[in-house]
Amino acid sequence: MTLFSELGLDSTTMKSIERMGFEEATPIQAQTIPLGLEGKDLIGQAQTGTGKTVAFGIPLMEKIDLKNDNVQGIIIAPTRELAIQVSEELFKLGYGKRARVLAVYGGQDIDRQIRALKKKPHIIVGTPGRLLDHIKRKTLRLNGVNTVILDEADEMLNMGFIEDIESILSEVPEERQTLLFSATMPDPIRKIAERFMKDPTIVRVKAKEMTVSNIDQYYIELKEGEKFEALARLLDIQTPELAIVFGRTKRRVDELSSALNVRGYMAEGIHGDLSQAKRLSVLKKFKDGSIDVLVATDVAARGLDISGVTHVYNFDIPQDPESYVHRIGRTGRAGKHGVAITFVNPREKGQLQVVERTTKKRMERMTPPTLTEALEGQQKAVTEKILGAVENEDLSIYISQAEELLQKHSATDLVAAALKQLTKEPDTTPVKLTEEAPLSMRRDRNRSGSGNRSRNGRGPVAGRKDYGNKRSNNNRKFGGNRGSNQRRETLNK
């Protein structure tokens, strides 16, 4: 265990870290921050959710000279969401120092960005296309940059940004520090490292530290038409504080979020066709608890860092095992426990096995929940809420009315009536979802394992501890880039 106080950081940085509530460094932070402070080039191989932004943000902040009005550091990120997230984290890290941080990305008014650039930010976080646009317009000059960071480099490769990255790096002085972070290291990324980095130190987080050991992983075998009822009943049984539901296509996300709202859940969806303003609005509402369920495509959710997510539901199994890891990594963060449940069509069992080999963890089979179990789950949530009020709240002003009721009715009848009034009974309003074809195995990627595998046991019983029940809290509200991103999602629509 490495504490931030042991890393030799200046007092201003330490105050910002303490203000953010951090004490212990994650493995990637503990290994890369000292190297970054020494000014060395480094390659960090780590998955999303391991604390990479702080890992490169601290050395960057320590180097910023507030008397120098030039752009001193640039971070290149694959998506608008990640650029915004990184800039927000850097702003928090630089709070005590008052370093100026600006995010630039496609989809935002470029004239507004040009005006912001004239205010002389010290650090720029941006997507490759918009950074290049500003460089060509000469509204962004990189001759004063001493630190370059490539975040999620493999994702930028997948999205076709390699040439853009090379063009940007060619504008930066050769005397600089370069930090590259990537979950995987394909050959094109290695070539960029060889060409633009100087004897980089490679830091790899061990596989066991990248996996999701604190997430209970289940699968439910269902036909396409059975998925939605299973999802609704799971939400009633498990009462998640915050949940993300992943769908494979934009149409799926739109239909799912609408259907959930019809059933009384507070849900909204995000995907590549939404305006940037709308996406930011939805994410803000999810972060502050105004909605309980976020429905998202892989591309739209890439790079999201939202604390407090207790459950992830894969309504559609992802097309790549790597996407599965990214999806379920939205929960089980900061040492907290998480639950991930994947719906699998019988024809998708081969893909399920591929996912299990990638994560090195076998999912436990779960039986589809029933309507009765959903009702029991809601009753349990209300019971826990009532007990919490008995134990923790001042009920004195209600005592006289309670005593009066007890003179006319039995305690059992009164409690039963209270449970009935407070319990959200499962809604069976009909909903219509467009059926999606089962995911076929992609043999061109040399992945095998299409045969069914026998599994012992029926898995957890609905409503028991293994089902991932959460203690309901008083705030529960259930009841009542770029063009390549969009092109990729359009192909799946």
Whole-angstrom CA distances from 345 to 79, 375, 435, 443 are: 31, 26, 12, 18
Q: What is the pLDDT of residue 216?
A: 92
Q: What is the pLDDT of residue 480?
A: 38
pLDDT tens profile 43-93: 998 766 567 889 999 999 999 999 999 999 999 999 998 899 899 889 989
Instruction: Give the architecture-level CATH label for domain 212-371+457-492.
Output: 3-Layer(aba) Sandwich (3.40)
Among 230-244, 294-308, 314-328, 460-474, whose mean pLDDT is lowest?
460-474
Q: What is the pLDDT of residue 213?
A: 67
Give the 3-state secondary structure of residue 359.
Answer: helix
Q: Are 86 and 125 in contact (CB under 8 A)?
A: yes
List, by residue range, all CATH 3.40.50.300 domains of the chain: 2-209, 212-371+457-492
Q: Are 16 and 96 in contact (CB under 8 A)?
A: yes
Mean pLDDT of the chain: 82
CATH (residue range 2-209)? 3.40.50.300
Dihedral sign for Cα atoms in the order 413, 417, 419, 424: positive
**pLDDT above 70 for 226:** yes
**pLDDT above 80 for 427:** no
Distance CA 5, CA 419 (A): 50
Q: Is the pTM of this model over 0.85?
A: no
pLDDT tens profile 337-357: 899 999 999 988 888 987 887
For residue 194, what pLDDT band results from cuts at 50, 70 and 90? confident
**pLDDT above 50 for 291:** yes
Q: Which of 181, 249, 238 has the alpha carbon at shortest distance from 45?
A: 181
Strands 311-314 and 338-344: parallel
Q: Which of 218, 223, 183, 177 has the alpha carbon at shortest distance from 196?
A: 177
pLDDT tens profile 469-485: 443 343 333 333 434 44
Q: Which of the two residues, 272 and 123, has the higher pLDDT score?
A: 123
Give the DSSP letter string of 364-422: EE-PPPPHHHHHHHHHHHHHHHHHHHHHHS--HHHHHHHHHHHHHS-HHHHHHHHHHHH
Q: Are 269 and 253 in contact (CB under 8 A)?
A: yes
- How far is Cα of residue 234 from the mean position of the Cα atoms in its chain? 20
Q: Which of the two residues, 226 and 332, has the higher pLDDT score?
A: 226
Rounded percentage of the chain residues whose pLDDT exceeds 90: 39
Which pair of structure tokens corresponds to residue 493? 């629509």
Distance CA 331, CA 327 (A): 8
Give the DSSP letter string of 169-194: HTTS-SSSEEEEEESS--HHHHHHHH
> Stretch 245-264: mean pLDDT, rounded?
92
Q: Which of 197, 212, 230, 179 has the alpha carbon at shortest distance from 371?
A: 230
**pLDDT above 60 for 457:** no
> Stretch 260-281: mean pLDDT, rounded?
87
Residues 6+ apart with CB under 8 A from 124: 71, 73, 74, 75, 101, 102, 103, 104, 131, 140
Among 40-54, 240-254, 261-275, whose mean pLDDT is lowest?
40-54
